[in-house]
Structure 1
Amino acid sequence: MTPATLIILVATLLVIFLFKKKRVRLFQQQCESHRRLPPGPPTLPIIGNMHQMIWHKPAVFHWIHRLLEEMETDIMCLRLGETHVIVVKCPMIARKLMRKNDAVLASRPTTFASGAFSFGYKGTVLTPYGEQWKKMRQVLTCEVLTSSMDRRLHHLRKEEYNYLVRYINNMARPSNLVDIRHVAQNFCCNIIRMFVFGKRYFSDDIPASSSSGPGRDEAAHVSALFTALNHLYSFCVSDYFPILIGLDLEGHEMVTRNVLRVLNRIHDPIIEKRLRERSMKLEKGGKKKEARDFLDVLVYLEDADGQQLLSLQEIRAQTMEMMLATIDNPSNVVEWALAEMMNNPEIMQKAMDELDDVVGKDRLVEESDIPRLNYLKSCIREAFRLHPYHALNVPHVAMADTTVAGYTIPKNSHIILSRLGLGRNPKIWNEPLEFRPERHLNTTNVILTEPDLRFISFSSGRRGCPGILLGTSVTMMLFARMLQGFTWTKPSRAHSISLQEGISNLSLVEPLVLHAKPRLATHLYI
């Protein structure tokens, strides 16, 4: 155990004994009333399994999944302080939780990071259940992610699809080597920046038609967003012992503040400029204009009295959450799919054959082609199943006692579905560690969602992802354009691609770098 770990553990024990001693008896009584909790490892008084969690940082999810296997259970209860954390890896139990008990499990935990990135829970994804969540969810589903807005912004997506091909072609020219992670992450960030802010680059000096790569602000933006994602719900000790907030024993608060500072520096001038535009327009008696992007929708919304519906903090929060919700899954799953296909050339050939049969080589693949690209969608489904970015889904919080699979789930428990446990469950999947897209070719129209929760691509239920169509389009067009536009080969000295996973998340431990050679007519890259 490292000195830092010892300090955290000792400080935790000392603070809890000093400040919460009077609550021990009540907590023990509560435990007695919940004798039918799911199985779990032995706990210590007051801290529960916190000492074990600290010991296994930063790879807490590896410890959790090892416990599930050692205990031979599909549902497990950990106790972190006074919080019961219920982990599920069985699709049947997951369906009961997310369908039968969906209304009870519709809240979110309150943590330092989630509170910071949602500006005090003013958004949708990170906000606990209540009137604020209902308000912002309605804004998101009824005003922002509508079919009319989707059609209106289709030209922005198409612009990014074309930019992607040009950018890879330019990147490949000096040495033919392309960093797939760099391309995929920046493509996803470009898409959501175009949708939210109406522009790919933060500098107004760079024309939208430019094929130059990301600048300093764009690179900082990508890095900050992924750092934020890696710190949300990351089992920080103070998330379970809030009295420790401010001591920053793990450096978690400093990282969160630094990331928020970068994102606010980039986002706030754009948001404030739009708010000034709105005020000036109203002062001049101008009519409400057609929204150019998502930010326009948020800024120009009005209540029944004609007043601005959303506050500055609500606009900042919703903008932040839309950014965070868009970037990790598409970029990660495409990188993993390509890595697996490099080691399985027959799969790559089948995908290329499908593209050539459905689309041909005389034009670039479009969104309208996606319904007929079943093998490509099967490759993406398989990558979602086998290689999620996060091992665990975003936690749900029980708003009342409930019962699942014969076990009691106490009020205020955190319920976590294991993406890793569901997707690699040997009771559900034959040869679960093998990349086999054919296992998904059992329907005339393959879709990326998985309603039976045998794996998780897009979350479902009351807290489900409202942008599934957008997410599907972004993921499939990134994958299809990369495959159709280029022949991908391993670097000359590589016999195979390493599929080693990271420690704190499940992305490839090293970014995937491949040779790219254009395979279509020259005019399609201009």
Structure 2
Amino acid sequence: MVLLVLLLATNLVCLLINTRLSHKTKSKSKSKPISSSPKTLPPGPAPWPIVGSLPEMVRIKGSRAQWVSRFAEATDAGIACVRLGNVHVIAVSSPDIALEFLKTHDAAMASRPITMANQYTSRGFLSVFSAPMGPQWRKMRRVMASNVLKSATLQWLLNKRLEEADNLVSYVYNQCCNSGDDFMSTVVNVRDVAWHYSGNVIRKMVFNRRYFGDGRKDGGPGFEEEEHVESTRTILALINAFCVSDYMPCLRWLDLDGHEKLMKQAINTLNRYHDPIIDERINGWRSIKDEIVSTRNPSDLLDVLIALTDDNGKPILSVEEIKAEVTEMVLAAIDNPSNAVEWALFEMVRQQKVLKRAVDEIDRVVGKDRLVQESDLSQLNYIRACAREAFRLHPIATFNLPHVSISDIIISDYFIPKGSHVLLSRVGLGRNPQVWDEPLRFKPERHLNYDSVKSIQLVEPDLRFVSFSTGRRGCPGFELGTEMTVMLLARLLQGFNWSLPPVTPNVDQSSFYVDDISNSRPLILQVEPRLAAHVYPRDRRFTKLVNKNLI
């Protein structure tokens, strides 16, 4: 209520100022030519002066992002405009229109908004995802594409990813062994397993370590890792949330949503774990002589960032830029793979035919005497189709990250003003009934191309759904994201039998989107080993392993 009163009061004050200024400039404006071309905005709610539809957005209960998305889904045009403050927020649920934005007009849509969440996560817009269009973004994009996320670098780090895939299987197997059940059956929190696998992979690739502390003897996360992952969850939720002060910066000091307080706490937690490692590593690299640096081999992605030098031997990246990019890599690697696999497993245990077909494919391609390797993933087309279908039906957030138009453009005969925030509706695109047959049904077969032997890709270039986006602002780490997603799903399906527990948990499918700092309940499933005991990796610190063959 207080927020609504403040918005209306601000609106009234701005109206008075605006009216006074308009009288002063009236005579000057008469002499200016008026364009005769129509400037029709996409359909949407009628805005208030100055504050736009912010009062309605504040007043609603539930997800603000879904409230905005519904306007695009409700129109035949597949596009809607909701003005928040002075910002035109353009929501898109039509693939054709999405392609106009991110392919036809990609150059005009290559900027990012100035938001509170982006400012904190990127240490002042220093990283590639958050930086607005300009020299800083071009610099970081070049660094990431040429040095960090290229195929050769990912291949170099293969063993680190493999180690975490083995740890994943070992950890789940150890839960079964420690259950006290003769049948080695237990229940696990799939969300925790998926999130911590993703966290382990990116920590190993960036810092060359799985744990910030000692971890658990069964291969699971310790307090430090749990706190680290929980902070990333909070930050990702805030990045995807609609914050009032992003559209009316004059109100930011009030922190009316409480978002900034939460962001400070979460980002401070991440920095508390990241910064000492980064500072120590930088000091180690920059204290040795140049001739030694030139022959020293990096051990992880942090070393790669630190070791980058220009033609004069000077570091290309500042300390703040390195820290910003490390935070961004950690955030980008965790959410998408874990969310897709959690939902894929949920859908598959409810459709036993789908589950059986996926497991049969793994047994046919890989067998039961060894674990899935990354070299196998390209042959697991049905597994990839299941992951792709999870991205389509159950996206991690309602929208992709906003694109900002750097000039006025015309899209599908609609006028898109300079500075507009363009949001592709992940839900609207992926569940568009004009595009997808039975859009609410989990049907991996829809992605199979029986006339092609090519491996199914998780990216969607035609924007019929959003996985890793596309264009200049598309995710540069899509290759890594694909490998992590398919490996996580394949290892869990190969190593274990999954089923709903006797008492089915209350999992609400309709509200499983990260927004406004809220999550639905995690997925809890019954699990038991399905391979012989000798196939499972052993953790020497875990002393309660059961040496028993299970078919």
CA distance 1:34–1:76, change in 2 (3 Å): farther
Any conservation in 1 of the 2:4–2:59 contact (CA below 8 Å)?
A: no
2:487 is the alignment partner of 1:477: yes
Q: 1:420 aligns with which of 427, 432, 438?
A: 427
CA distance 1:15–1:437, change in 2 (3 Å): same
Worse-matched range after superposition: 273-282 or 120-129: 273-282
**Residue in 2 that maps onto 1:185:** 195
**Residue in 1 that maps onto 2:316:** 309
Q: 1:73 aligns with which of 70, 74, 77?
A: 77
- How far apart, CA to CA, are the structure 2 residues paired with 1:84 and 1:55? 19
Shift of 1:15: 3.3
Q: 1:164 aligns with which of 143, 163, 168?
A: 168
2:16 is the alignment partner of 1:12: no
- How far apart, CA to CA, are the structure 2 residues paired with 1:148 and 1:336? 31
Q: 2:127 aligns with which of 119, 123, 127?
A: 123
CA distance 1:90–1:328, change in 2 (3 Å): same
Shift of 1:309: 1.4
* Match runs of 1:216-231 below 5 Å: 216-231=223-238
**Residue in 1 that maps onto 2:359:** 352
2:142 is the alignment partner of 1:138: yes
- How far apart, CA to CA, are the structure 1 residues paired with 2:52 and 2:508? 38
Shift of 1:498: 5.4
Any conservation in 1 of the 2:513–2:519 contact (CA below 8 Å)?
A: no
Any conservation in 2 of the 1:89–1:425 contact (CA below 8 Å)?
A: yes
Instruction: Encode CA deviations 1:37-65: one digit per residue, 9 max, x unaligned.
Output: 11111111111111111112540122223
**Residue in 2 that maps onto 1:523:** 534
- How far apart, CA to CA, are the structure 2 residues paired with 1:50 and 1:329? 29
Any conservation in 2 of the 1:143–1:297 contact (CA below 8 Å)?
A: yes
CA distance 1:504–1:117, change in 2 (3 Å): same
**Residue in 2 that maps onto 1:494:** 504
Instruction: Encode CA deviations 1:387-425: one digit per residue, 9 max, x unaligned.
Output: 001011110000000011001110000000000000000
* Match runs of 1:48-67 below 5 Å: 48-67=52-71
- How far apart, CA to CA, are the structure 2 residues paired with 1:49 and 1:318? 34
**Residue in 1 that maps onto 2:114:** 110
Q: 1:447 aligns with which of 453, 457, 472?
A: 457
Shift of 1:503: 6.3
- How far apart, CA to CA, are the structure 2 residues paired with 1:329 and 1:105? 23
* Match runs of 1:299-448 below 5 Å: 299-442=306-449, 443-444=452-453, 445-448=455-458
TM-score (norm. length: structure 1) = 0.94
- How far apart, CA to CA, are the structure 2 residues paired with 1:286 and 1:349? 52
Instruction: Encode CA deviations 1:66-96: one digit per residue, 9 max, x unaligned.
Output: 3334444300011001100111100011111
Any conservation in 1 of the 2:391–2:467 contact (CA below 8 Å)?
A: yes
Q: 2:98 aligns with which of 91, 94, 97?
A: 94
* Identity %, equivalent residues: 45
**Residue in 1 that maps onto 2:212:** 202
CA distance 1:522–1:359, change in 2 (3 Å): same
**Residue in 2 that maps onto 1:3:** none
Q: 2:44 aligns with which of 40, 43, 47?
A: 40
Partner SS for 2:246:
helix
Shift of 1:31: 12
Worse-matched range after superposition: 58-67 or 11-20: 11-20
- How far apart, CA to CA, are the structure 2 residues paired with 1:495 and 1:233? 27
Partner SS for 1:77:
strand
Partner SS for 1:514:
strand
CA distance 1:261–1:337, change in 2 (3 Å): same
Partner SS for 1:104:
helix
Shift of 1:228: 0.3
Worse-matched range after superposition: 497-506 or 8-17: 497-506
Shift of 1:496: 9.4
Any conservation in 2 of the 1:172–1:515 contact (CA below 8 Å)?
A: no
Partner SS for 2:109:
coil
Worse-matched range after superposition: 54-63 or 114-123: 54-63
2:521 is the alignment partner of 1:510: yes
Partner SS for 1:375:
helix
Shift of 1:237: 0.7
- Name structure 2 gaps, 5 residues minimum: 180-185, 539-551
For the pair shown, the structure with the greater C-alpha radius of gyration is 2
- How far apart, CA to CA, are the structure 2 residues paired with 1:193 and 1:489? 30
Any conservation in 1 of the 2:170–2:219 contact (CA below 8 Å)?
A: no
Partner SS for 1:245:
helix
Supply the AA of the counterpart residue of 2:126.
K
Partner SS for 1:281:
coil
- How far apart, CA to CA, are the structure 2 residues paired with 1:37 and 1:350? 48
Partner SS for 1:84:
strand
Partner SS for 1:428:
coil
Instruction: Encode CA deviations 1:273-326: one digit per residue, 9 max, x unaligned.
Output: 011101221389554411111100111111222111111110111001111111
Any conservation in 2 of the 1:386–1:435 contact (CA below 8 Å)?
A: yes
Any conservation in 2 of the 1:189–1:222 contact (CA below 8 Å)?
A: yes
Partner SS for 1:178:
strand
- How far apart, CA to CA, are the structure 2 residues paired with 1:362 and 1:69? 48
Any conservation in 2 of the 1:339–1:499 contact (CA below 8 Å)?
A: no
- How far apart, CA to CA, are the structure 2 residues paired with 1:414 and 1:251? 23
**Residue in 1 that maps onto 2:86:** 82
Supply the AA of the counterpart residue of 1:222.
V
- How far apart, CA to CA, are the structure 2 residues paired with 1:495 and 1:85? 37
- How far apart, CA to CA, are the structure 1 residues paired with 2:102 and 2:291? 50
Partner SS for 2:106:
coil
* Number of residue-to-residue matches in the alignment: 518
CA distance 1:58–1:117, change in 2 (3 Å): farther
Any conservation in 2 of the 1:500–1:509 contact (CA below 8 Å)?
A: no
Instruction: Encode CA deviations 1:141-168: one digit per residue, 9 max, x unaligned.
Output: 1111122221221110110111110000
Instruction: Encode CA deviations 1:91-142: one digit per residue, 9 max, x unaligned.
Output: 0111111101000000000011111110001111011010000001111011
CA distance 1:233–1:387, change in 2 (3 Å): closer
Partner SS for 1:383:
helix
Partner SS for 1:97:
helix
